[in-house]
Structure formats: C-alpha cells, structure tokens
Structure 1
C-alpha cells in the first residue's frame, strides 16, 4: 500500500493530528508512564490548542502520513539555531513495523538539509525500549540523558538522541 505524506496546513489537519495523538498516546504510553501523566501530556503537548500553537507560533512543521486517505501517523519538527528538533514521530499501532517511520524521518532529513543544519535531535523516554532501538537502527545515537520537570508533579525522564546528517550519506 502506498503512503502519502503531506505537510499539515489547516485547522482540520491539526484536529486530525490531535485525535490520532490521543489514540496513540493512550495505547503506547500508558504502560510506560501511567494514565495520569498521559492525560496531562496529551493536553499539554498533543491537544488541538498545543499543536495549533506549535504550528502558528513556534515554527513547527508537521508531516502527516496517510494510507488510503486515512491519517495513520505524523512527525513534528522545529528548526532550532544549529539543528532540527524532532519533537514527535508517532504511528498508529497497526501501521508500525512497515517502514513508515523511515518515510517520515526522510521528510525531516530533507527539511534539515534544506535548512543547512548538520543534525537532528530528539528526546525519548528512557523506558521506551522498542522506540530507542528503532531510532538506533535509523542511525541515531544516545548523546545525553535529561530529566525535565513538565509541571503538575510530572517529569520527562529522557535520552537525547542525535542523527548526524552528513554521516548518513543522505
């Protein structure tokens, strides 16, 4: 099946991303960080309001992956001073393991090159083992670890991973 990728460009796109984000976060992250933190983080980072603010005010670009006209995943990136921040890369559970993450990452890499940045970095929960392994297979390396207070008594306990674009030959 063919996957179409396009850039988020409307309020309805933002709403579709937020709906999918809620579905994915409930399924994937509840066992890792618990239902309370999932609910808090979805509202803070993945809600319609948060995504609209990211796109309209913070310079984020969202790539949306569609299969047969249905949104199945997305990737959110934000240009920073000397590199690209890969803030979000999520796929619906039934679509994982089919190379779609690589397609979304290829869009981020192309954008990173367009900006003239030498690398992409991301943060990933230290206990999200399968995702860490996937990023490592894509060429990311663990550079650091960080614990960030995100409010409401919650923290993000993450690795910082980085992909050097030039070393990948892309």
Structure 2
C-alpha cells in the first residue's frame, strides 16, 4: 500500500533529509560529482533547507510503501502551473508504482488549484527519469543551465505536462 504523508514538523523534515541522503548517494554519482551531491543535499534537502522552502510556499510530502518510508516529493503552486521541485524514490522501492502514484497525487493537486500545467526540471543525463516522465505525459520545453553557487551548475531540461 502506498501512502503520501504531508511533512509538517521537524521529525518529518529530518526523515526527508535522511531519505534524500540515501537516494542521492545511490542515484547521482554517475551523473554529478560527489562534491556537488554533498552541496545540493545541504543546500536543498537538509531539514533546515526544507523548513525554509516550506516557509516560502513549498509543500513537502514523504511516500510510504507498506509502512516503510520510500521517497519524498515537493511541489510549489506558481501563477498558472504547479512546480514539481522534487520527486525521489529509494532504489529498492522503484518499480512498485510509487512514482506513478505520486504523479497522480501531483496531478490532482494541480487540478485542485485550477492550474494549467505541471513543470519540473530534470538533469539532462538522468535518462531513466526523463523517459519515465515522458511516459506520463511530460514534454521537454527547453534546456537550461542554472548556477547554484560554489562553482556548481544544474544542467537540466524543463519538462511540462499540460493538464
């Protein structure tokens, strides 16, 4: 059974921080450097960073599969689209339709807010994730490079799903 739980307090933020640390270290070393992983975990996925993003309007959730924390997501309501800033599933839970359930939840949230689309950014070299998003109706809108500080960049595609 898949559950999506709202992250509302420090223990939830710490849980997501732990999930992020595990997921990023198992998934990204073939895509970005360990130094960039460390930097991005601290800057965007620490409990402190999560709390700050929530204070700025983001909503964080963690996914549970058979009562075991399996991943997390974050969304933010923008003017006419829902921005999906994070969607990560632990390796051992991939292929169990958790990502698909999360995207159905995100679709419902966007429709609830009467938004026209969902947008996300994905690393250009994260080919499996790109294929998964495309299967679920997302299309590449543009390529973009974003300076995130300390000499690091994000080399991404902007993807969009029209609702």
With the shorter chain as reference, the TM-score category is: over 0.9
User: Which residue of the partner structure matches residue 101 of structure 1?
Assistant: 99
| Structure 1 residues without counterparts, runs of 5 or longer | 166-170
User: Which residue of the partner structure matches residue 112 of structure 1?
Assistant: 110
The 8 Å contact of residues 63 and 107 in structure 1, kept in 2 or not, is answered as no
User: Which residue of the partner structure matches residue 60 of structure 1?
Assistant: 58
User: Which residue of the partner structure matches residue 154 of structure 1?
Assistant: 152
Residue 107 of structure 1 and its aligned partner are, at CA, apart by 1.2
Kindly tell me the number of residue pairs found equivalent between the two proteins.
163
RMSD of the alignment, in Å? 0.8
User: Which residue of the partner structure matches residue 47 of structure 1?
Assistant: 46
User: Which residue of the partner structure matches residue 138 of structure 1?
Assistant: 136
Residue of structure 2 aligned with 1:125, choices 123, 126, 131? 123
Q: Report Cα offsets for 1:5-54 as digits up to 9, x if no partner.
A: 12112211111001100110111111110100000000000011111111
Structure with greater helix share of residues: 1
Normalising by structure 2, report the TM-score: 0.97
Matched residues in 2 for 1:63 and 1:119: separation? 20
